[in-house]
Amino acid sequence: MSEPHWMHPPGPELRKFVLPEIIFGVGALHLAGQYGHSLGGSKALVVSDPGVLAAGWVQQVLASVEGAGLEPTLFTQVTPNPRIDEAIAGAIVYAEQGCDVIIAVGGGSPIDCAKCIGLLAASQGGIRDFVGIDNVRAPMPPTICIPTTAGTSADVSQFAVIKDTEINRKLLIISKALVPDVSLIDPATLTTMDAFLTACTGMDALVHAVEAYVSLGHSPLTDIHALQAIRLISSNLQKSLAEPNNLDYRNNMMLGSLEAGLAFSNASLGAVHAMAHSLGGLLDLPHGQCNAMLLDGVVNFNYGHAEQRYRDAAAAMGIELGGSSSSEIRERLVVEIRRLRDTAGIRDTLSRCGVHRTEVHELAEIALSDPCVVTNPRRPCERDIEVIYEESL
């Protein structure tokens, strides 16, 4: 007996798209207490880092939390490239203080650490038990994220990255259980970022958008966000560096980061991120800087396997295509990526950042095992990854 036709419907395959409740605009962070209360919280663990604390944003969030009648506990023991031991320490504070809601304030480091604290608070296992795709069985406690950079989009994503210092690797956890309940996105928080952080996070967001658009996991639901992110970031990054207090430019960068996050969270990423995770784990380099140094090399490697998609990305960046040949468009796209990176002030090579040729083999081995490689449009072998690293030295 044949199966009913509805079991094998014609047309595109099914896709899912998940996102948190999002409040976007200047002043959004002041809603932290209101949302903490509406989620049933009475004691909030506020996760941040020393830099965001010094910028003054944490104090404003604490005032909002207290104003709504919640009792806050502050945890700021988070470093760039957050570590498993930091998440464990945060989970201990969460339990000891009887917290029932998590509020993360900062860039990708505090938000990823907060997500891992939430996983530990909700489950009996350790962080390593959750690594990979869909290995989280219990939902996190109610979680509110307040991003203060326009880059990582951890506040809307299904991803968390945490460093295992025992093996010097970044571990990637992917699960819809990691999507926060609420993201309060306030562009005003970007005005305290320095130029280098603005550049690194901006390039990180651009890589999110480009990789999501060419990803094997892309769909019409993600494409529209990826292309809009490319347009916004490529046209506003340099402006926001030149006028850091201009809220129009900062708003556009924050919106571009959000659009990129919605795209990559649901389409996944590619070889740039796999290689950047490897670098960040082994050598503790800034994530956005790693992405910026690797994007042009990966585009060169992938181009022939996703030519039309890279043409679309080039057009979104304002590159004139006309009747140009495939090789000409490829070259223009790579040149424009390098121009954006250089004008943003990211001019170092991997070797200047301390990467040695003797480390390339190990870096490639680690990158090839990263889940992001699975959706790269061209499946690389170990030697392919080594060559991209070597060309970026």
User: What is the model's pTM?
Assistant: 0.94
- Strands (E) in the chain, as ranges, are 21-24, 43-47, 71-75, 101-106, 132-133, 143-147, 159-164, 169-174, 182-185
CA geometry: angle 277, 280, 281, nearest 5 deg: 85
Q: What is the pLDDT of residue 16?
A: 86
3-state secondary structure at position 258: helix
* Cα–Cα distance, 237 to 245 (Å, whole number): 13
DSSP 83: B
Q: What is the pLDDT of residue 6?
A: 47
The whole-angstrom distance between residue 186's C-alpha and the CA centroid of its chain comes to 17
Phi, psi of 350 (to 5 degrees): -60, -40
Q: Which domains does the chain have, with CATH numbers?
A: 21-190 (3.40.50.1970), 193-392 (1.20.1090.10)
Q: What is the pLDDT of residue 14?
A: 84
3-state secondary structure at position 150: coil
Q: What amino acid is encoded at 344 in this protein? A: A
Q: What is the pLDDT of residue 162?
A: 96
Q: What is the pLDDT of residue 328?
A: 95
pLDDT, tens digit only, all 393 positions of the chain: 455 544 455 556 788 899 999 999 999 999 999 999 999 999 999 999 999 999 999 999 999 999 999 999 999 999 999 999 999 999 999 999 999 999 999 999 999 999 999 999 998 889 999 999 999 989 999 999 999 999 999 999 999 999 999 999 999 999 999 999 999 999 999 999 999 999 999 999 999 999 999 999 999 999 999 999 999 999 999 999 999 999 999 999 999 999 999 999 999 999 999 999 999 988 888 899 999 999 999 999 999 999 999 999 999 999 999 888 999 999 999 999 999 999 999 999 999 999 999 999 999 999 999 999 999 999 999 999 999 999 999
Q: Are strands 101-106 and 132-133 parallel, antiparallel or unpaired?
A: unpaired
Tally of CB atoms within 10 A around 300? 16
Tally of CB atoms within 10 A around 196? 15
